[in-house]
Amino acid sequence: MPSEISLSDVRTIVGTEVGVSDWIMVDQTMINAFADATDDHQFIHVDPERAKETAFGGTIAHGFLTLSLLSAMNFNCVPKIREQTMGVNYGFDKIRFMSPVKAGTRVRGRFKLAEARLRGAGMMMLTYEVTVEIENERKPALTATWITITQFDPKDRPEDF
């Protein structure tokens, strides 16, 4: 997949995997920083000794921490749209936390472009089916249907889209 595509080429990649990100290490330092940022200090995230006594066998990342890594994963591997002037997160239709991410584990994202449609003269809505994999694990950390909006100059709108 090229690192950059044109608006008129977006339609040609709908239904295909458009990127697999690099691995990201989710370590205890990252988990603790997320706990501080969100004020979620549940022991399964921040107390390694107490968390050892749980079924997880140690601390795990917050599900929302794993979800928040999608932005970095997207920027790492999804082709940029040449004419884009701005992109925004529109939301999620579905998120499922499938398996815990243990501290010291690496994760990566797989992105499939499920849909692309124009919204107004200068916007395109892109829907991605995303899977966050855990290194050396069969079951993913999460799956999600993620919607973003790409803004562009209306003069760049593809005529045949």
Decide if 105 is inside a domain: yes
Q: Rounded to an integer, what is the distance from CA 52 to the centroid of its chain?
A: 29
Q: How large a percentage of the chain has pLDDT more than 90? A: 93
Query: Hey, what are 77's tokens?
Result: 């591997």
Decide if 144 is inside a domain: yes
**For residue 113, what pLDDT is reported?**
98
On the question of pLDDT at 161 being above 80, the answer is: no
Domain range for 84 is 4-25+63-156
- Which tens digit of pLDDT belongs to each residue from 119-131? 988 999 999 999 9
**Average pLDDT over all residues of the chain:** 96
CATH number of the domain that residue 117 is part of: 3.10.129.10
- Which tens digit of pLDDT belongs to each residue from 75-116? 999 999 999 999 999 999 999 999 999 999 999 999 999 999
The DSSP H or E segment spanning 63 is helix 63-68
Decide if 46 is inside a domain: no
Decide if 50 is inside a domain: no
On the question of pLDDT at 3 being above 80, the answer is: yes
Decide if 20 is inside a domain: yes
| Residue 125: closest CA among 154, 94, 151 | 151
Decide if 150 is inside a domain: yes
Residue 113: is it exposed, middle or buried by C-beta count within 10 angstroms (0-12/13-18/19+)? Answer: buried
Average pLDDT over residues 133-138: 98
Decide if 43 is inside a domain: no
Number of domain units in the chain? 1
Decide if 80 is inside a domain: yes
